[in-house]
């Protein structure tokens, strides 16, 4: 059975191989600037984060309820998400092009410092009672910005991993989506073959005709 909410759910695509890149890929980075915004409301932001695997269903429900109670307060977390996305785009884009990150790196580090300040260790409780400790985000159920924090953390993990050398920008015109190239030959050129790859092939066929 299909959940009624899923019918209205925007079709997010997760082709980046990392939540940080999937967030970058929620808008098209065209020569005219960002276009075709996929995250237009706070509700959509929670759906995106759930699909990215960075927000649990229960936490997502809690945040949506909170945002519905305080509609005006939901605008600022959305700005926070856009600002984070722009920083990730600038930083990871520079790295993918083999350029120096410039001020994108200190901008990212300021975000990271803020996010790290929310991380805490809490007792993990199971059916048998207390079973050790685990990471937890302080305010994950009460701060509307919480859905962005795990994405920043994921970006930091990607940046310090060897895979940062495999971050690529799609070769499609006016796409600008990014992905970790995990193809066996390391020659993946498109965010998706069926969109950008196909468009490029059509264009070349037209040019050679």
Q: Which residues are at the interface with Zn ion (CB under 5 A)?
A: 170, 172, 175, 177, 191, 196
Query: Which residue, 109 or 198, has its beta carbon nearer to Zn ion?
Result: 198
Region of residue 176 (phi > 0: left; psi between -120 and 50: alpha; otherwise: beta): left
Query: Which residue, 78 or 196, has its beta carbon nearer to Zn ion?
Result: 196
CB of 190 to Zn ion, least distance (A): 5
CB of 45 to Zn ion, least distance (A): 22
Query: Which residue, 134 or 186, has its beta carbon nearer to Zn ion?
Result: 186
CB of 88 to Zn ion, least distance (A): 17
Does residue 136 contact residue 143 with C-beta atoms inside 8 Å? no
Query: Which residue, 24 or 55, has its beta carbon nearer to Zn ion?
Result: 24
CB of 28 to Zn ion, least distance (A): 8
Beta bridge partners of 169: 178
Separation of alpha carbons 92 and 120, rounded Å: 27
Does residue 170 contact residue 190 with C-beta atoms inside 8 Å? yes
Furthest C-alpha separation in the chain: 71
Separation of alpha carbons 30 and 63, rounded Å: 31
């Amino acid at each position: 059975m299909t959940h009624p909410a899923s019918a209205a759910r925007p079709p997010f695509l997760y082709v980046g191989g990392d939540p940080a890149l999937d967030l970058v890929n929620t808008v098209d980075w065209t020569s005219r600037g960002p276009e075709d915004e996929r995250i237009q409301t706070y509700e959509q932001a929670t759906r995106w984060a759930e699909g990215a695997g960075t927000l649990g269903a229960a936490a997502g429900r809690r945040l949506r309820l909170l945002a519905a109670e305080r509609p005006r307060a939901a605008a600022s977390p959305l700005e926070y998400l856009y600002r984070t996305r722009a920083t990730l785009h600038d930083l990871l884009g520079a790295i993918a092009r083999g350029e120096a990150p410039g001020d994108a790196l200190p901008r990212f580090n300021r975000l990271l410092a803020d996010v790290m300040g929310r991380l805490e260790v809490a007792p993990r409780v199971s059916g048998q009672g207390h079973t050790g400790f685990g990471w937890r985000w302080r305010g994950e159920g009460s701060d509307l910005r919480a859905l962005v924090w795990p994405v920043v953390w994921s970006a930091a993990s990607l940046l310090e991993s060897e895979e940062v050398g495999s971050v690529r920008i799609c070769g499609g015109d006016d796409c600008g989506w990014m992905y970790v190239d995990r193809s066996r030959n390391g020659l993946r050129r498109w965010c998706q073959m069926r969109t950008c790859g196909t468009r490029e092939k059509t264009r070349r066929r037209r040019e050679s005709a």
